[in-house]
Chains A and B, each alone.
Chain A
Amino acid sequence: MANDSGEKPETKMLDELEKGPWPSFVKEIKSAGQTSASAQDLLRQLELSYQEKKGHWKHGGLVGVLGYGGGVIGRYSDAGDQFPKVAQFHTLRVNQPAGWFYTSDAIRTLCDIWERHGSGLTNMHGSTGDLILLGTGTAELEPTFQELAQAGFDLGGSGSAFRTPSCCVGMARCEWACYDAMKLCYDLTMAYQDEMHRPPFPYKFKVKCAACPNDCVAAIARADLSIIGTWKDEIQVDESAVNEYASAGLNLQKDVCDLCPSKCMAWDGHKLSIENHECVRCMHCINVMPKALRPGKERGAVIMIGGKAPIMQGALLSSVLVPFVPAEELMDTLKELIRRIWDFWDEYGNNRERVGELIQRVGLPVFLDGIGLDPVPEMVSAPRDNPYIYFQVAKDGEK
């Protein structure tokens, strides 16, 4: 698209945001503005917003493609007369490949499609996980969607839907992966196409798959259903490698044992001993000594529920729902669990109430009863710190 006026946007205030050593979105939009008139109008409108200290995007907007109830977020400018190229500036969410792996051909194809139909501006990736295509008019939505579909891409979720699941790079690049997060993410995406494209719920429902407790996708903080890899047995220790770390100057006492949150490790100068039953899977020791320590051999995931960022109510971290599911049983367990959770939430959730908020409102025992799960000690947040719950070491022969 050519610039109608032929003049460069005046961006005195925005120019300030180009200074400094860090990346700048202004620089990127200016670069897109060399070939895209809407990127130029975007700069002009943003400059005005900075001058007036006032946003110019209207609230809401309801646009979409036929057959889908989500995937497009309507954006309208309230200064469309001044900046006609951003009067309509809708966003498309494109379902990302699991682990965000693309061939360069795929990225070129996507960018070519977007330069033909939109502003050319992308956001790879948005906090939802999707590939975000920023800025186009209503008339371009359907043609863009058709071309994306031809290229093998689909729209993601938006609104009160099962949102596009996302995952860490998992087994593709990471030796700590306790289950195949990319496969699970893909399988979940395919299993819940209906719920993703046709929003059926009281509010959004997000699933994120992290393959180990490092939780690189921040599933625990951002997903209603967090699936976080873990292990059931003992941390694998390579003693000679531990000693190599020590002789190379690592202070095991100070930098490993003292920083263990449950103080489950001891270092006597020769041998690292770990009280595995006290381990809370924080990953610190493994992160510090990746050559010496590895997650255990009996691997799987913990399923947690209720995480969310603050919108209607405050932020919540996920709580444990199922303490351990073996890797090979994950998909079957999740399908059954998700069905029960959705049934309960659909029945009792208020409009715009996340499942975590519902659990807070009715109480975890009622929720567990509703979905047919028995309570277990792992569900108690910070069990060792809670004075109302008394733990006793089991005597011999007792369960």
Chain B
Amino acid sequence: MPLFEVEGRSYEVDEDGFLQEPERWNREVAKDFAATEAIADLTEEHWKIIHYIRNYYLEFGIAPMIRKLCKETGHKLNEIYKLFPSGPAKGACKLAGLPKPTGCV
């Protein structure tokens, strides 16, 4: 299992860089992972989305559908891409400490 190391902290991740130990997640972890997703600074807008995804995952065990994410956070999809350049699935879910979302190619 690959390790992601930053400032002396190390995390077990999968090959796409998703956290493998969901119980380790906290705000510090999200900040550590932000640099890997081309995000310089986590703003309140970022946190709103991260918390929504995180809470949804804790409640239902999966990532929310895109439509629901947009509706509940009040962000249009292209705004989410501005906040998380690699997108909600790869960027936002990774920072929220979710395992890699499954999808169809």
* Residues of A in contact with B (beta carbons under 8 Å apart): 58, 60-64, 66-69, 73-74, 76, 88, 91, 158-160, 194, 198-204, 311, 346, 351-352
B54 within 8 A of A: no
User: Which of B22-30, B43-51, B87-95 lies at the binding interface?
Assistant: B87-95
For the complex formed, measure the closest distance between the CB of A348 and the CB atoms of chain B, giving whole angstroms. Answer: 11
Main secondary structure of the interface of B (DSSP, over half): loop
Residues of B within 8 A of A158 (CB): 105
**Beyond A76-B15, A202-B65, A202-B67, is A159–B103 a contact (Cβ under 8 Å)?**
yes
**A69 to B81, Cβ gap below 8 A?**
yes
**B105 to A66, Cβ gap below 8 A?**
no
Residues of A within 8 A of B88 (CB): 69
CB within 8 A of B16: which of A74, A199, A204?
A74
Residues of A within 8 A of B65 (CB): 202, 351
CB within 8 A of A66: which of B18, B66, B85?
B85
Main secondary structure of the interface of A (DSSP, over half): loop
For the complex formed, measure the closest distance between the CB of A312 and the CB atoms of chain B, giving whole angstroms. Answer: 9
For the complex formed, measure the closest distance between the CB of B54 and the CB atoms of chain A, giving whole angstroms. Answer: 18
**A60 to B78, Cβ gap below 8 A?**
no
CB within 8 A of B77: which of A62, A159, A198?
A198
Q: Which 3 A-B pairs have the closest CB atoms?
A: A69-B87, A66-B85, A73-B105
* Residues of B in contact with A (beta carbons under 8 Å apart): 15-16, 18, 38, 65-67, 70, 77-78, 81, 85-90, 100-105
Residues of B within 8 A of A61 (CB): 15-16
Name the residue among B38, B70, B86 with the largest chain A CB count within 10 angstroms.
B86
**B89 to A69, Cβ gap below 8 A?**
yes
For the complex formed, measure the closest distance between the CB of B64 and the CB atoms of chain A, giving whole angstroms. Answer: 10
**Beyond A73-B105, A160-B103, A160-B104, is A200–B66 a contact (Cβ under 8 Å)?**
yes
Name the residue among A60, A69, A200, A346 with the largest chain B CB count within 10 angstroms.
A69
Residues of B within 8 A of A202 (CB): 65, 67
**Beyond A74-B16, A160-B103, A346-B67, is A62–B90 a contact (Cβ under 8 Å)?**
yes
For the complex formed, measure the closest distance between the CB of B19 and the CB atoms of chain A, giving whole angstroms. Answer: 13
For the complex formed, measure the closest distance between the CB of A76 and the CB atoms of chain B, giving whole angstroms. Answer: 5
The distance in angstroms between the C-alpha atoms of A74 and B17, with both chains bound, is: 13
CB within 8 A of A311: which of B77, B103, B104?
B104
For the complex formed, measure the closest distance between the CB of A37 and the CB atoms of chain B, giving whole angstroms. Answer: 20
Residues of B within 8 A of A68 (CB): 87
**Beyond A74-B16, A76-B15, is A67–B81 a contact (Cβ under 8 Å)?**
yes
CB within 8 A of A62: which of B16, B66, B70, B78?
B16
The distance in angstroms between the C-alpha atoms of A351 and B88, with both chains bound, is: 16
Residues of B within 8 A of A346 (CB): 67
24 A–B contacts from the bound complex (CB under 8 Å): A60-B102, A62-B16, A62-B18, A62-B90, A62-B100, A64-B86, A66-B86, A69-B81, A69-B88, A69-B89, A73-B105, A91-B105, A159-B89, A159-B104, A159-B105, A160-B66, A160-B104, A199-B66, A200-B66, A200-B67, A200-B77, A202-B65, A346-B67, A351-B65
Residues of A within 8 A of B78 (CB): 194, 198
**A64 to B102, Cβ gap below 8 A?**
no
The distance in angstroms between the C-alpha atoms of A62 and B87, with both chains bound, is: 11
Chain B's closest residue to A346 (CB) is: B67
**Beyond A61-B15, A76-B15, A201-B66, is A66–B103 a contact (Cβ under 8 Å)?**
no
Residues of B within 8 A of A64 (CB): 86-87, 90
**Beyond A159-B104, A204-B104, is A66–B38 a contact (Cβ under 8 Å)?**
yes
The distance in angstroms between the C-alpha atoms of A159 and B63, with both chains bound, is: 15
**A67 to B66, Cβ gap below 8 A?**
no
Residues of A within 8 A of B105 (CB): 73, 91, 158-159
Chain A's closest residue to B85 (CB) is: A66
Residues of B within 8 A of A199 (CB): 66, 87, 89
**A60 to B100, Cβ gap below 8 A?**
yes
Residues of A within 8 A of B70 (CB): 200
**B16 to A203, Cβ gap below 8 A?**
no
The distance in angstroms between the C-alpha atoms of A64 and B90, with both chains bound, is: 8
Residues of A within 8 A of B102 (CB): 60
For the complex formed, measure the closest distance between the CB of A73 and the CB atoms of chain B, giving whole angstroms. Answer: 4
Chain A's closest residue to B90 (CB) is: A62
- New A-B pairs, 5, CB < 8 Å, besides A62-B103, A200-B70: A58-B15, A60-B100, A60-B103, A198-B78, A199-B89
Chain A's closest residue to B87 (CB) is: A69
**B77 to A194, Cβ gap below 8 A?**
yes
For the complex formed, measure the closest distance between the CB of B68 and the CB atoms of chain A, giving whole angstroms. Answer: 10
For the complex formed, measure the closest distance between the CB of A392 and the CB atoms of chain B, giving whole angstroms. Answer: 44
